[in-house]
């Protein structure tokens, strides 16, 4: 049994003061249906990724809400939660539900409405993805956790402050072409280095923003895929976990969950890192992209900073990464990011992504991280149906 993605939809990622979570979710779902050229009545099951709507907007029971608002009643609808990796998890559950033979056509979606809370309250809510007793209770935030990773990486491997800044610069350069991005504007290394210090060595322009948005994709079985013009095939999928608290990890310079999830996805796909044409990786903070480059096998451990400095992650580089802008430029509505990454890969592999198109992209990888790496989900896609 093979599974393909045949429709994608994304709202603009922004501060949506005039739209509710249900508005955004319904919009993304409608866009995915329109893209696939199918009717909502064709959908047999729905999986929704969301991290913390209960705290952000006071709304739980999101599976039923999404089915209700989209007019999909009475199909089964399930909410999936894995912090910032929630919608990548929803995607995997949708994938498995088709592999099981239970369904032929399923929607996976992700959403988050974050800006209704004040900044400090939003930060406190996000720390629910960390270890409450050992981290958030003593005042740690995710930027401080990733700052610890960054400082250790710099001390151990010689990664420079400028190389961290180059991650943000590259992603913003790509984001200028993306009309759905929250911050589609270029920045310079100097601007990053002079932006306000948040948690040493990370500065404001090393950090992804607080964002509202929603995304959705349509998955179909091999039996139905032949009815669609440009199905993009799921080649491999992996998920792994690590300790919730950072101080319990064996290493602060790698994410073992990423390495384990990637190993499984590569094995299923029958591919190696060198075979991946484009990647969407989780750059919630600039150091995470550098660590991801290493953990995904694109370069040796400790060489990620130099890999960025040498321009290898650029759109025209050896290994284009975040060619649509990444979390840094596009925005990071935590429950929606994983499927946003996937939808951008799908559009790239179709070969008709306009100004955002990377030339000759035939295989793509999406890495979605939950928390500081306690969850990692890796999905690999290809134009050609796997054997």
Would you list the DSSP string of 210-248? Answer: P-EEEEEEEEEEHHHHTTSSS-EEEEEEEEEE--SSGGG
Tokens of 267: 């094995």
What CA–CA distance (Å, rounded) separates 88 from 81?
10
The secondary structure of residue 323, as a DSSP letter, is T
What's the CA gap between 62 and 64, in Å, rounded? 5
Determine which one of 16, 80, 84, 207 is catalytic.
Answer: 84
Residue 248 annotated in active site: no
Whether 84 is catalytic? yes
The closest alpha carbon to 284, from 116, 90, 144, 121, belongs to: 144
| CA dihedral sign of residues 262, 266, 269, 273 | positive
101 φψ region: left (φ > 0), alpha (ψ -120 to 50), beta (else): left
Between CA 287 and CA 294, with CA 291 as vertex, the angle to 5 degrees is: 150
Instruction: For 238, list phi and psi in degrees, rounded to 5.
Output: -140, 145
Report the distance separating Cα 161 and Cα 240, nearest Å.
30
Percentages (nearest 5) of helix, strand, coil residues in the chain: 40, 20, 40
Whole-number Å distance between alpha carbons of 311 and 333: 28
Question: 275, 363 in Cβ contact below 8 A?
Answer: yes
C-alpha closest to that of 78 among 44, 52, 47: 47
212 and 13 Cβ atoms separated by less than 8 Å: yes
The whole-angstrom separation of Cα 97 and Cα 91 is 10
Instruction: Say if CB 258 and CB 373 are below 8 A apart.
Output: yes
Active site residues: 84, 332
């Amino acid at each position: 049994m093979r599974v393909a993605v045949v429709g994608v939809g994304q709202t603009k990622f922004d501060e949506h003061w005039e739209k509710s979570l249900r508005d955004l979710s319904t919009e993304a779902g409608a866009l995915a249906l329109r893209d696939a050229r199918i009717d909502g009545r064709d959908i047999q099951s729905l999986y929704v990724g969301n991290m913390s709507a209960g705290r952000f907007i006071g709304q739980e029971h999101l599976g039923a809400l999404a089915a209700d608002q989209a007019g999909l009643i009475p199909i089964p609808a399930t909410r999936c939660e894995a912090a910032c990796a929630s919608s990548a998890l929803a995607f995997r559950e949708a994938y498995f539900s088709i592999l099981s033979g239970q369904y032929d056509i399923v929607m996976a979606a992700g959403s988050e409405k974050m800006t209704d809370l004040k900044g400090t309250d939003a930060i406190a809510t996000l720390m629910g993805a960390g270890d409450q007793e050992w981290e958030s209770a003593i005042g740690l935030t995710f930027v401080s956790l990733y700052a610890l990773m960054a400082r250790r990486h710099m001390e151990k491997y010689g990664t420079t402050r400028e190389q961290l800044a180059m991650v943000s610069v590259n992603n913003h350069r790509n984001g200028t072409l993306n009309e759905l991005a929250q911050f589609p504007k270029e920045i310079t290394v100097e601007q990053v280095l002079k932006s306000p210090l948040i948690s040493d060595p990370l500065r404001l322009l090393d950090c992804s923003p607080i964002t509202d948005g929603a995304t959705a994709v349509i998955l179909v079985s091999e039996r139905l895929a032949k009815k669609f013009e440009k199905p993009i095939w799921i080649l491999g999928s992996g998920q792994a976990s690590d300790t919730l608290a950072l101080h319990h990890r064996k290493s602060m310079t790698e994410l073992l969950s990423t390495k384990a999830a990637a190993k499984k996805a590569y094995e299923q796909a029958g591919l190696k890192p060198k075979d991946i044409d484009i990647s969407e990786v989780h750059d919630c903070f600039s150091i995470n992209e550098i660590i991801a480059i290493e953990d995904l096998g694109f370069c040796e451990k400790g060489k990620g900073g130099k890999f960025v400095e040498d321009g290898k992650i650029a759109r025209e580089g050896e290994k284009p990464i975040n060619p649509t802008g990444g979390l840094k430029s596009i925005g990071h509505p935590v429950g929606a990011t994983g499927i946003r990454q996937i939808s951008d890969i799908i559009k790239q592999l179709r070969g008709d992504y306009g100004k955002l198109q990377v030339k000759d992209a035939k295989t793509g990888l999406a890495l979605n991280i939950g928390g500081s790496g306690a969850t990692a989900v890796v999905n690999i896609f290809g134009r050609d149906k796997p054997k």
